[in-house]
């Protein structure tokens, strides 16, 4: 009587590595598998490329970037307490991050198909809703900071 045994963990990871190597080709195969400092340098380059692409190709990202640049400069001159400044810096970066995700989602959907499809609309609308919430949070936090600093002195 023979019994079936499951493959060992090493066999499974070897199979996965083999599948990954066979699945990836061209540019993807060249970039996967790098480790250490080289991977960090490559990742920084990809991040720079992503920021440049978002700025050059997406008007909404440019608008959010300029809005947050103005707010961050204003933050230097306004007499907010440090914890308030930290929260406002966080909310500015959060709105930029959400816009980058939204831009990535839209680009992926457009790459897949430019035809109108209900699921594509949902994907794009959900990304837009996330940005609306992030900008609403940014607005509310700025209003609370201004109110507590200039109107209600505690």
- What pLDDT is attached to residue 137? 98
Burial class of residue 24, CB neighbours in 10 A (0-12, 13-18, 19+): middle
How many H-runs (helices) and E-runs (strands) does the chain carry? 6, 0
Q: Which of 89, 65, 95 is nearest to 76 (CA)?
A: 89
pLDDT tens-digit readout, 52-70:
999 999 999 999 999 999 9
| Residue 27 assigned as binding residue | no
Query: Is residue 122 helix, strand or coil?
Result: helix
Q: Which domains are seen in the chain, by residue range?
A: 59-153 (1.10.287.3610)
pLDDT tens-digit readout, 12-67:
666 655 655 555 566 666 666 678 899 999 999 999 999 999 999 999 999 999 99
- What pLDDT is attached to residue 34? 73
| Residue 115 assigned as binding residue | yes
- What pLDDT is attached to residue 25? 63
| Phi-psi label, residue 26: left if phi above 0, alpha if psi -120 to 50, beta otherwise | left
| Residue 48 assigned as binding residue | no
> Is 111 assigned a catalytic role?
no
- Of 91, 96, 98, 99, which one is the catalytic site residue? 99
- What pLDDT is attached to residue 21? 54
pLDDT tens-digit readout, 102-117:
999 999 999 998 889 9
Residue 4 has pLDDT above 60, yes or no: no
Which of 21-27's residues contact partners 24+ apart within 8 Å by CB, and which partners? none
Which residue is associated with the tokens 């920021």? Answer: 51
Which residue is associated with the tokens 């936090």? Answer: 141
Average pLDDT, rounded, for the chain = 87
| Residue 113 assigned as binding residue | no
């Amino acid at each position: 009587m023979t019994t079936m045994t499951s493959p060992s963990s090493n066999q499974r990871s070897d199979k996965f590595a083999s599948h990954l190597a066979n699945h990836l080709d061209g540019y993807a195969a060249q970039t996967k598998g790098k480790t250490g400092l080289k991977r960090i340098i490559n990742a920084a380059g990809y991040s720079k490329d992503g920021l440049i692409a978002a700025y050059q190709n997406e008007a909404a990202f440019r608008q959010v970037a300029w809005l947050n640049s103005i707010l961050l400069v204003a933050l230097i001159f306004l007499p907010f307490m440090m914890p308030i400044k930290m929260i406002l810096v966080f909310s500015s970066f959060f709105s930029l991050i959400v816009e980058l995700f939204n831009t990535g989602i839209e680009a992926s959907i457009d790459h897949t198909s430019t035809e109108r499809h209900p699921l594509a609309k949902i994907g794009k609308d959900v990304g837009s809703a996330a940005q609306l919430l992030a900008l609403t949070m940014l607005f509310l936090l700025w209003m609370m900071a201004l109110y507590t600093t200039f109107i209600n002195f505690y």
